[in-house]
Amino acid sequence: MRIGITCYPTYGGSGVVATELGLELAQRGHQIHFISYSQPIRLTGPQPNIHYHEVEVSRYPLFDYPPYDLALATRMAEVSELYDLDLLHVHYAIPHSVSAMLARQMLAAKPRGRRLPFVTTLHGTDITLVGLDRSYLPITRFSIEQSDGVTAISQYLRERTLREFDILNRIQVIYNFVNCDIYCRDKQAAERRAEFANAEERVLVHLSNFRPVKRLLDVIEIFDRVHKKIPSKLLLIGDGPDRSQAEWLAVQKGIHDDVVFLGKQDRVNEKLPMADIMLLPSQLESFGLAALEAMACEVVPIATRVGGVPEVVEHAKSGFLADVGDVETMARYATDLLSDDTRLREMGKAARESAQSRFCTSTIIPQYEEFYRRVLGS
């Protein structure tokens, strides 16, 4: 198939999923065309069957708000025509599904008009935060309803979308995935870990875009409590609005030297296996891709019992779940686990086993291929 993929190319779960999906589909022989305003962060270097088309948004003094959605729609239609795309797959409804809808209309209106179906994958904040804003809700609902196929990355998100958007179309759940051959505890992990921690220290990790929904300050609070009892380091992967507040909190608590801000990383698979535990104390997660990637690397997630996270992390088996803001309980789970080497390794293995058996690429990618075939009516 020839598939156009559009996503936010920046540091965020939906862009990561879209890029990894494109890479996996390309490996299976599909022609993948990424259409976006910059190259997705996990798209590093040239790869067979992968093409990238940049969307240029021209600036004009009149445009206080340059119309990216329109430039995107134009580029989508152009690329679809030039490369004879079978369909467009957009990740994150706003504004991508609106642009895809316009591109579909543009191609249909041509003299020898042709069908260009589009699939929308809902990721989370496009529904739970942004989508419920009154200024976006009607257009988001409309573009979802207009989609030729809609998928959601968890049951939670599917149900919430159906309930709050009162949407008529079918929404299929296709879970996020992880490539367990790439995400694993490789031999080099121990060497890399030695750069940050000595042999007696434990390593905790957090990976996100440091937005308020991730509750980065809770990560520091939890680590502070763990650090008082167990020699340890905290690795923070990512960057975003809450970084400087977190840095200050670490300074106030006197743990700044043991909190390492690694910044945005594109090879997360090389960083995660250095850790023993991942902290994900989010206010809300429709899925929690970071937890899944950690699990594949035998890193035990300690997360909040919110959104779709309980569909990914099984409490006391493949990780631990607690209430939002309950830093005491999360710190206790971490301290207890880090004090028991055998349990820590057993749970790490159970986490990987769960990631492998339920969310591996070999299970999930064929579900997307089947979904596309259905949308194309073949």
Please choose, out of 106-114, 287-295, 332-340, 348-356, the segment that lies near ligand GMT by the rule CB under 6 A: 287-295
Q: Is 207 in the site for ligand GMT (CB under 6 A)?
A: no
C-beta closer to ligand GMT: residue 77 or 290: 290
Contacting ligand GMT within 127-186 (CB under 6 A): 153, 176
Residue from 285, 293, 298, 311 in contact with ligand GMT (CB under 6 A):
285
Closest to 178 measured CA to CA, from 293, 280, 288: 293
Tokens of 37: 């305003």
Measured between alpha carbons, how far is 310 from 291 in angstroms, rounded to an integer? 11
Measured between alpha carbons, how far is 89 from 150 in angstroms, rounded to an integer? 10
Contacting ligand GMT within 237-256 (CB under 6 A): none
Q: Is 296 in the site for ligand GMT (CB under 6 A)?
A: no
Closest to 220 measured CA to CA, from 181, 256, 166: 256
Q: Is 209 in the site for ligand GMT (CB under 6 A)?
A: yes
Measured between its terminal Cα atoms, the distance across the chain in Å is 12
Residue from 213, 280, 302, 365 in contact with ligand GMT (CB under 6 A):
213
Q: Is residue 6 classed as helix, strand or coil in its secondary structure?
A: strand
Closest to 130 measured CA to CA, from 14, 218, 237, 21: 14
Alpha-carbon torsion 288, 222, 342, 314, what sign?
Answer: negative
How many residues interact with ligand GMT (rule CB under 6 A)? Answer: 21
CB of 263 to ligand GMT, least distance (A): 16
Q: Is 40 in the site for ligand GMT (CB under 6 A)?
A: no
Tokens of 156: 């939670």
Longest distance between any two alpha carbons in the chain, whole Å: 72
Please choose, out of 208-216, 228-236, 247-255, 294-302, the segment that lies near ligand GMT by the rule CB under 6 A: 208-216
- Rule CB under 6 A: which residues touch ligand GMT? 12-15, 17, 92, 123-125, 153, 176, 208-209, 213, 284-289, 307
